[in-house]
Amino acid sequence: MVDKIFRVNMTDLTTSVEEVPEAWAGHGGRGLTSTIIAEEVEPTCHPLGKNNKLVIAPGLLSGTVAANSGRLSIGAKSPLTGTIKESNAGGTSAQLLAKAGCKAVIIEGLPKEDKWYSLAITPAGVTIKEETERIGMGNFDVIKSISPEHDNKIGILTIGQAGEMKMTSANISIQDPDGGLRSCGRGGLGAVMGSKKIKFITIDPEGGKVDIADPAKFKAANRTFAKALAGHPISQALGAYGTNVLVNIINESGGLPTKNFTQGQFADHEAISGETMVDLINERGGKAKHNCHAGCVIQCSQIYNDAKGNKLTSGIEFESVWAMGADCCVADLDCIAEADRIMDDIGIDSIETSVAMGVAMEAGVLEFGDGVEICRILRDEVTKGTALGRIVGNGTGSVGRSFGVTRVPVVKNQAIPAYDPRAIKGMGITYATSTQGADHTMGYTITTNILNVGGQVDPLSKEGQIELSRNLQIATAAIDSTGMCLFIAFAVLDDETCLPALVDLLNARFDIALTIDDVMSLGKHILKLERKFNIAAGFTAADDRLPEFFYDEPLAPHNVVFDFTAEEIDSFWNF
């Protein structure tokens, strides 16, 4: 099936199917979303206005049997950060979109009338339908109401109440193989979808498939690639305990942000650790090992049941557990899982919203450790769009500004994730220089700072951190373009067969002759393209900085600060 561009104009409610421009042909996933946004969106436009566009793109290997290739990228100008933005997630939609012959969906304009719509994607293109039945529903009810109509054989993207209200922490949720949710969570892309009055999107490939130029070569490369992934010890640890295996590890390093980033260790870390979580899952008949998309050989997801054995949430990640747990001082996994489910249903980023709760706690809006009140605020305030709910729903920076808090852990207005940049300095460089606000996935230096993958760089030392972050950001931009999960990076860095196998997969898929250098050049191109957009939007080097308290307040137990100069940070871009 030949890939096409599907374009949707919400202003005149028309759709079209277009040939893929030659300049876009070599891109997929993040590379394609950022390329289209950079080419078609005015950098100074209002993110929720008519001139922003929402771009949805599967990766270069999406829809194939390549291991761990099920990530879907969604891009726009972010209403949270004001920067270019790409967020990706697992689920079923990337594979189905690729099988429908869709290289990318470009959604532009705003409806003239105050009506809501849904989009239905098939190989023939996109159909726009007015939607009335599901407005105001949470994400789970949306999926529950749609899936039976299609025998659960379609992909679904949906926004909850947060997206409808255009909260800048709103995400876009993607149905996973078990009817759960995976979230394109960061940057408020759900608000962009809400601004265009689209409640949900369905994807039906109608039996379509992705053509492989050289099936035999592809099969052999995938065998080598999957073996490298499955055999890596970090992959195995993730499969055994989920990403939450990191709680004890990061706590031991002294880099687990606690009580709104005032401490580097959480006294109750064991209560919320991956090991404790897996014990509870097994006791209650859940699943300790689970995949968020077909073909995953790592299976770091899980299904977490409540005390009665009923499913509470799935895919509860380290970032969510840390943010609601250590950062807010909540030591109850059941409470954290309940909050995670509510945020999934509302359709709001669990990192941004939970860090916002920590800032609200410092402001005295609620007490540190009060998980019950967190859940109440989510249900009664955020879901209903009260004044407090909108302050929280618009993110960490919004809470800090509204309540006069000075310790507000954000970069480019996006909440800093689960690694304190004072104790893990490589992550500080990533947070500062990322083109998309503070985001651990942009350049995950934990690999080498903490896990000793691909070498070892002392997390407490400045030496080597800028080069480490730069190299990982370049590699990540390329990985995000393939549709691969970020966690392939562990094997890529340690197993000499892994990266060549990935390149072989791309070459066999398209009958091309890429080299490893070509893949790295792609990553560099994407980063520079995104930075160029941001500069045109008004960002300067002064925006590539951490909040001042990281430079001034020593973090226990190591009593360290983030001590990079402006000139050192700016040298990141010398490539």
* Whether 490 contacts 448, CB under 8 Å: no
Cβ atoms of 355 and 323 within 8 Å: the answer is: yes
The proportion of the chain whose per-residue pLDDT surpasses 90, expressed as a percent, equals 95
User: Residue 473: which of 426, 425, 412 has the closest Cα?
Assistant: 426
* pLDDT given at position 501: 97
Q: What is the pLDDT of residues 316-363, one digit of tens each?
A: 899 999 999 999 999 999 999 999 999 999 999 999 999 999 999 999
Enclosing domain of residue 294: 242-420
Residue among 277, 259, 384 at smallest CA distance from 340 = 277
How far does the chain reach from its first CA to its final CA, in angstroms? Answer: 38
200 with 117: CB under 8 angstroms? no
Average of pLDDT values for 193-214? 97
Residues 24-37 pLDDT 10s: 999 999 999 999 99
Q: Are 451 and 346 in the same domain? A: no
**Are 384 and 416 contained in the same domain?**
yes
Tokens 């996006």 found at: 414
- Which pairing describes strands 198-203 and 155-158: parallel, antiparallel, or unpaired? antiparallel
Over the stretch 18-65, which tens digit does the pLDDT of each residue have? Answer: 999 999 999 999 999 999 999 999 999 999 999 999 999 999 999 999
* Same domain, yes or no: 307 and 386: yes
Q: What is the pLDDT of residue 340?
A: 97
pLDDT for residue 151: 67
Last residue within a domain, chosen from 362, 388, 420: 420
| Mean of pLDDT values over 451-467 | 97
pLDDT digits (tens, 9 = 90+) for 248-272: 999 999 999 999 999 999 999 999 9
Q: Are residues 61 and 158 in the same domain?
A: yes
What is the pLDDT at residue 152?
A: 66
Do residues 399 and 391 touch, judged by C-beta distance below 8 A?
A: yes
Can you read off the two tokens belonging to residue 488? 């392939």
Q: Does 439 lie in the same domain as 385?
A: no
Domain shared by 170 and 254, yes or no: no
Residue 59 lies in a domain: yes
**Two structure tokens written together for 333:** 């996994």
pLDDT at 276 over 80: yes
Residue 38 sits in the same domain as residue 183: yes
Q: Which pLDDT score is estimated for 148?
A: 76
Would the pLDDT of 165 be above 70? Answer: yes
The model's pLDDT over 388-437, given as tens digits with 9 standing for 90+, comes to 999 999 999 999 999 999 999 999 999 999 999 999 999 999 999 999 99
Q: Mean pLDDT over all residues of the chain? A: 96
Residue 291 binned pLDDT confidence (cut-offs 50, 70, 90): confident
Give yes or no: residues 158 and 51 share one domain.
Answer: yes
Are the C-beta atoms of residues 418 and 269 closer than 8 Å to each other?
no
- Asked if 434 and 363 sit in the same domain, the reply is no
State yes or no: pLDDT of 382 exceeds 90: yes
User: For residue 128, what are the β-bridge partners?
Assistant: 119
Domain count of the chain? 3
Q: Among 375, 403, 420, identify where a domain stops.
A: 420
Res 308 pLDDT > 70: yes
Last residue of a domain, one of 155, 184, 203: 203
For 140, residues 6+ apart whose C-beta sits below 8 A from its C-beta are 181, 344, 345
Does a structural domain hold residue 465?
Answer: yes
- Give me the pLDDT at residue 177, please: 86
Residues 281 and 416 both lie in one domain: yes
Contact present, 55 and 106 (Cβ < 8 Å): yes
Distance CA 473, CA 465 (A): 12
The pTM of this model reads: 0.97
Please report which residue ranges of 436-483 form alpha helices under DSSP H. 446-449, 465-482
pLDDT of residue 1 exceeding 70, the answer is no
